[in-house]
Amino acid sequence: GESCPPELTEAQKASRIGKVVAIMSGKGGVGKSSVTGMLAVSLRRQGYKVGILDADITGPSIPKIFGVKDKANVVPAGVIPPTSSSGIKIMSLNLMLENEDDPVIWRGPIIAQILNQFWTDVVWGELDYLLLDLPPGTGDVPITIFQSLPVDGLVVVTSPQQLANMVVRKAIKMAKKYDPRFYGLIENMAYVECPHCQERMEIFGKPQGQAEAARSEIPYLGELPVDPALATLSDAGKIEEYQSPAFDEIGRRLAEELKK
Ligand code: ADP
């Protein structure tokens, strides 16, 4: 009947997940996947057991930035996710495809089905936090994920340009319909630091993340500069080697919010 809880799969019985945290953005290109990756790295450095489910299946980049090339291992109990060098469990559609270049042209319902299968069939083991890299925007897929996966709360990633265009405000408004918790807002690419004199240049105008967070009643986690080192390490699959005091601070604040 409708009130019966669904029966657990073998994979679910073998998994204990503390909290599921979805990372959203208003549009593509703000660095949502990079920030998701770095949040996982930061939580891992703080000693938590972390996994990432790459739900941005129209442009999956999580395995690439972690340099994870192993295919997911399919065993009778389910799908075993590969692990990054610092011990982050990573699951992505790309890891299930024979050929990584296969186009992903499936629309909402099929994507939803695949994501549900990720949910029921992946053997995560014990995790404190599972980060969900959502597709950008407010389309079918992010909504389907809100509705079908047990998301505990959201982190919003934005940039000065998107704040100026109010793209992110629309996305936040959409998300609020589903009454989620918001763990925080992060403004990426907020400024550039001169490598010679360390002067801070606000090339996209004044950062507005803090004001937007206050307005939307979301905890403000902090801002990140445009940093070529992040892009270079990500391209090389070495995001776990990235060091950034700004990010350490954001990671600590997120951990505080997650404990509340
Ligand atoms: P999204 O997931 O929002 O589409 P990505 O995380 O894939 O965005 O980032 C888009 C590009 O911008 C990538 O090449 C990434 O390395 C780069 N990038 C993201 N954040 C930064 C940053 N703070 N500094 C420099 N490059 C960044």
**Domain presence at residue 1:** no
Ligand 1 centroid distance, CA of 227 (Å):
10
Look at residue 144 in the predicted model and tell me its pLDDT: 77
Look at residue 71 in the predicted model and tell me its pLDDT: 81
- Whether residue 30 is annotated as binding a ligand: the answer is yes
Model confidence band, residue 177 (pLDDT cutoffs 50, 70, 90): confident
β-pair partners for 75: 78
Average pLDDT of the segment spanning 231-244:
97
Look at residue 98 in the predicted model and tell me its pLDDT: 61
**Domain presence at residue 188:** yes
Average pLDDT of the segment spanning 12-41:
93
Q: Please work out whether the CB of residue 33 comes within 6 Å of at least one atom of ligand 1.
A: yes
Tokens 């953005």 -> residue: 25
Ligand 1 centroid distance, CA of 34 (Å):
6
Atom of ligand 1 nearest to the CA of 56: 2
Count of domains forming the chain: 1
**Domain presence at residue 257:** no
Q: 72: how many CB neighbours lie within 10 A of its CB?
A: 23
pLDDT above 90: residue 109: no
Average pLDDT of the segment spanning 235-260:
97
Beta strands (DSSP E) in the chain are: 16-25, 50-54, 73-75, 78-80, 89-92, 126-133, 153-158, 181-193, 200-201, 220-226
**Domain presence at residue 159:** yes
Average pLDDT of the segment spanning 94-104:
64
pLDDT above 90: residue 161: no
Ligand 1 centroid distance, CA of 236 (Å):
13
Q: Please work out whether the CB of residue 158 comes within 6 Å of at least one atom of ligand 1.
A: no
Ligand 1 centroid distance, CA of 30 (Å):
6
Domain that holds residue 214: 10-250
Percent of all residues in the chain with a pLDDT value above 90, rounded to a whole number: 57
User: What's this model's pTM, rounded to 2 decimal places?
Assistant: 0.93
* ipTM of the complex model: 0.99
pLDDT in tens, 27-65: 888 999 999 999 999 999 999 999 999 988 767 799 999
pLDDT above 60: residue 106: no
**Domain presence at residue 260:** no
Q: Please work out whether the CB of residue 189 comes within 6 Å of at least one atom of ligand 1.
A: yes
- Whether residue 137 is annotated as binding a ligand: the answer is no
**Domain presence at residue 4:** no
Q: Please work out whether the CB of residue 230 comes within 6 Å of at least one atom of ligand 1.
A: yes
Q: Please work out whether the CB of residue 231 comes within 6 Å of at least one atom of ligand 1.
A: yes
**Domain presence at residue 5:** no
- Whether residue 32 is annotated as binding a ligand: the answer is yes
CATH of the domain at 213: 3.40.50.300
**Domain presence at residue 157:** yes
pLDDT above 60: residue 104: no
Look at residue 70 in the predicted model and tell me its pLDDT: 82
